[in-house]
Structures are given as C-alpha cells and as structure tokens.
Amino acid sequence: MHWSFLRQMRLLVLRRGVELAIELKQHLFDTFYHAVALETPDGILVTADDRYLRAALGKAQIMHLMDWE
C-alpha cells in the first residue's frame, strides 16, 4: 500500500472517531473501533458493549456479538 493512502485512512478514522465521540457522548476508545468499521468497505463492528450499542443504534455497520453468525 502506498504511504499516502495509509496516512489518509488514518486521518479519516481519527476524524470519524472524534465526531462519533462528540455526537454520541461516548469515549474515544469505543468510537475509534467503530470508525475503523465505518471507513472500511464491508466493515462491521461486532460488540458486546450494550451501552455503546444503544448509543450507536442509529449508525451503520455495528451489531451485537450475540447476533453475529
């Protein structure tokens, strides 16, 4: 992979993670994982964190661990 692409992706994930944290009023360490899924084609965050899942229900690319097959 080209270094400029990786740098751009890193910046997109950082920005998305911060935006999610502010919008959802959640910690960055939760929102960064979700940001990676959102910035990755066909990515999905599988989580057992009920608190974060409830906060992020209106967002795409997230599901509960119990629903994962």
User: Is residue 30 a contact partner of residue 8, using CB atoms and an 8 Å limit?
Assistant: no
- pLDDT at residue 14 in the model: 95
| Number of neighbours of residue 33 by Cβ within 10 angstroms | 19
User: Is residue 36 a contact partner of residue 21, using CB atoms and an 8 Å limit?
Assistant: no
Alpha carbons 8 and 16: distance in angstroms, whole number = 12
**pLDDT tens digits, residue range 15-55?**
999 999 999 999 999 999 999 999 999 999 999 999 999 99
- pLDDT at residue 32 in the model: 96
